[in-house]
Amino acid sequence: MTEQLAQLTVKHYKSDQKPIWCPGCGDFAVLACTHRALTNLQLRPENVVIVSGIGCSSRIPYFCKTYGFHTLHGRTLPVATGVKLVNPDLTVLAMAGDGDLFSIGAGHMPHAAARNVSITCVCMNNQIYGLTKGQTSPTSVKGHTTKSTPYGSISQPMKPVLLALAYGATFVARGYSSKTHQLADLIAQGIKHKGFAFIEVNSPCTEFNNTYDLLDTMVEELPKDWDTRDRAGAMALASTETKVHLGLFYKEERPAYEEMAKAFEKNVNAFDANAYLARFA
């Protein structure tokens, strides 16, 4: 970690642990795109922290030669928030699956987005619980038959992009594990963004929900003239899209939570408690 590196390459971000996902899993591509994004940004590994929860995708910290925190199921975002607030100079990525972020961890998403903490949150959405052998997840399509819904799911699937927009995220994008150049660029953009960046990645599970062929027919780039400042337009599209649109849906510049917290801390330190209490003596 203390080695002086003139030009960082992908190998500087790869750990000595080999990924153990099933052959063809979309998470291989997400990992490779993360390595590529860090390389393109030339971020020193010791200044990067990758936080994850529980699930197949949450193994990513093991395969990166950065700091990592493999935390509890659904607690990816609060831990990532704590890391960022303790040391705002660190680059913090929260990487988890659709179950981790939108089921047991669903209560943390609105707060992280509304606070605008400078975290890059990557949601690997395979529309299934892969690690526990194929149960329906919050993003599984209606009618989906699994061990947990043998007669078909009767719930409407959650829409991660729509939710992130509604919660107030200041950077919202969607990628696809088969479109690696675009995905690496979106992750790099999210890291550079000052504020809460949310990136949904369609990352199919070849074992329990292989959606590659379907996605290949459904993915479509956002229009070239798409206005990334139009939150209402982005929400309307995310609500009604019949295609799976890829690219940057929305971006906004707003003060980051850690910056505002630092300013608040200065005001608190300058507060004279004795003078305040004397007013009521």
Torsion of CA 89, 94, 95, 96, to 10 degrees: 170
Q: Is 225 helix (H, G, I), strand (E, B) or coil?
A: coil
User: Whole domain around residue 103: which residue ranges?
Assistant: 10-278
Residue 200 covered by a domain: yes
When divided into structural domains, the chain yields a total of 1
Nearby residues of 134 by Cβ (< 8 Å), 6 or more positions away: 128, 146, 147, 207, 208, 209
> Contact, 180 vs 33, CB < 8 A?
yes
> Contact, 118 vs 81, CB < 8 A?
no
Residue corresponding to tokens 């919202």 = 172
Exposed, middle or buried by CB within 10 Å (0-12, 13-18, 19+), for 96?
buried
| Residues forming beta bridges with residue 50, ordered by sequence position | 68, 93
> What CATH number is attached to the domain comprising 146?
3.40.50.970
The reported pLDDT for the residue numbered 141 is 86
> Contact, 83 vs 92, CB < 8 A?
yes
Residue 43 covered by a domain: yes
pTM reported for the whole predicted model: 0.91
Cα distance between residue 77 and residue 94, in whole Å? 6
Residue 3 covered by a domain: no
Residue 267 covered by a domain: yes
Q: How many Cβ atoms sit within 10 Å of the Cβ of residue 187?
A: 28
The reported pLDDT for the residue numbered 259 is 87
Residue 154 covered by a domain: yes
Residue 1 covered by a domain: no
Predicted confidence pLDDT, tens digits, the chain (281 residues) = 445 557 999 999 999 999 999 999 999 999 999 999 999 999 999 999 999 999 999 999 999 999 999 999 889 999 999 999 999 999 999 999 999 999 988 999 999 999 999 999 999 999 888 888 888 888 888 888 988 999 988 989 889 999 999 999 999 999 999 999 999 999 999 999 999 999 999 999 999 999 999 999 999 999 999 999 999 999 999 999 999 999 999 999 999 999 888 777 667 666 666 776 677 76
Residue 49 covered by a domain: yes
Beta strands in the chain (DSSP E): 48-52, 67-70, 91-97, 120-125, 171-176, 197-202, 219-221, 244-251
The reported pLDDT for the residue numbered 1 is 45
Residue 97 covered by a domain: yes
> Contact, 206 vs 215, CB < 8 A?
no
Exposed, middle or buried by CB within 10 Å (0-12, 13-18, 19+), for 9?
exposed
Residue corresponding to tokens 């199921």 = 73
